A and B are shown apart, each in its own frame.
Chain A
């Protein structure tokens, strides 16, 4: 099945550092979503983006919807140990046939060292 290109695949950072990850697609999406998943759990929604160029923050997290509608990025500022997990981007198409289908990225595994 289709997966979006997400990078980096994994990253080790020190507590307090900023983190940046991005997601690219060959298809246009009308909504971009960012999720975090802990081991053995379901993805938890972090940020939802609805318009090209939109920049949205949720605490230390900031995400942007790319102008071309084919990409998105997520920044985490001043990382803390509980930021550890796998981050997924997801694109959602618009249209009566595919409106609810999410296409997920390959994931970025974040590990934070003290």
Chain B
């Protein structure tokens, strides 16, 4: 199975800050990576698919990049409503889909 290592596990930042989360795959997964936002008590929400494509309706301050084994998720200017846990998810092998451990984002 493909392991996803997400970092950091938690992050504290100020409103307006640029925030970056990374996800590393244990093997080459091309750009078969998605990013989700999960707010407390809610289902995850798709933000970025295929590593860099913004899901319809998602604010443009969210972005993703990377290919192969190293991926980055960025919030260009942190807003109070962005407080959540963020997960990467690989689907290189549709026979075994895996998620990263999650990054909890807090306001400083």
Tell me if chain B binds chain A: no
Chain B residues proximal to chain A, CB less than 8 Å = none
